[in-house]
Every structure is written in structure tokens, then in C-alpha cells.
Amino acid sequence: KLAYKEALNEAYPDRSKWGKQPRSGASCDVFVGTVMRASGADPNFPRGLDEVENHIAKNSKKYKVINNPTQEEMEPGDIIYELYKGGGGHISIFLKEHRIAQAQYNGKTYPHVQKYEKQIKDSHKKFCVYRRKNNG
């Protein structure tokens, strides 16, 4: 938790106007943004699911988009981007062996690792993976 808090403070030094959930770093978009920014993989990775698609499109030299991949097609470091038909969405990072790193807010939940079980495709308006290209 300490390493994550340090990375969060580095990636987003001023969170004073954010809501409780993202301010504490316990939302999925802030978690992925923190990892991408603090690791140097993408120092400008946005916060907010609604900004991710535009960012990826503007940085197409850095990212490959894979629509509706199977778990077998995913690679460690892939960013899983999900929008649901009923509204809302989720973003996480694929690790390996069908596990993901993510954050969800239920009070004080910080980032954690869990087994990844993709929901039925019918529940998705959009399901894709953003993979960093080696040249970007």
C-alpha cells in the first residue's frame, strides 16, 4: 500500500477537487493511470474512462487495439477496457495466468489482484485490450 500511495502522489499530486473514491486512489481509472504514469509507460495516461479511448486514438503509434480478445490472446501488461451496455465500465491490467490488477471502491478497497473472469460478451457495449507497442 505504501508503494502505491507514493506512486499515486507522484502521478497525481493534486487530487483535492476529486471525489473520495478517486482521491484515495481506489477507483479503477485512477489505479491504471497511476501505474501507467508512475512506471513511465505512459506519463500522460488519462484519468477517467471517458478519456481513455481518445487518448489511445491520439497515441496510435504507441498502442495496438485488440477487440474482443480471448484470455489466451492477452499478454501481461495489457490494459483491459470494458464498457457495459447498461452503463458504466471498468479498466484493469492483465497480469498472467488469468489474473488482473485492479481497484474497485467499496469503502476502502485499494488495488488488488484477483482471478480474471470476463463477463459474457453480450453484457458489453465495448470490450477490448490496449497493448503497448514496443516502438512507442
C-alpha distances in Å from residue 19, one per residue of 48, 61, 105, 115: 12, 33, 12, 28
Over residues 62-83, mean pLDDT: 92
Over residues 110-119, mean pLDDT: 76
DSSP state of 112: E
Return phi, psi of residue 89, to 5°. -175, -175
DSSP state of 51: H
Over residues 11-37, mean pLDDT: 89
Closest CA to 79 of 108, 110, 37: 37
Q: Are 110 and 4 in contact (CB under 8 A)?
A: yes
Over residues 88-100, mean pLDDT: 90
CA–CA separation, 113 vs 15, rounded Å?
A: 24
Mean pLDDT estimate for the chain = 87
- pTM equals 0.87
pLDDT at residue 134 tops 70: yes
Helix, strand, coil percent content, the chain, rounded in steps of 5: 30, 25, 45
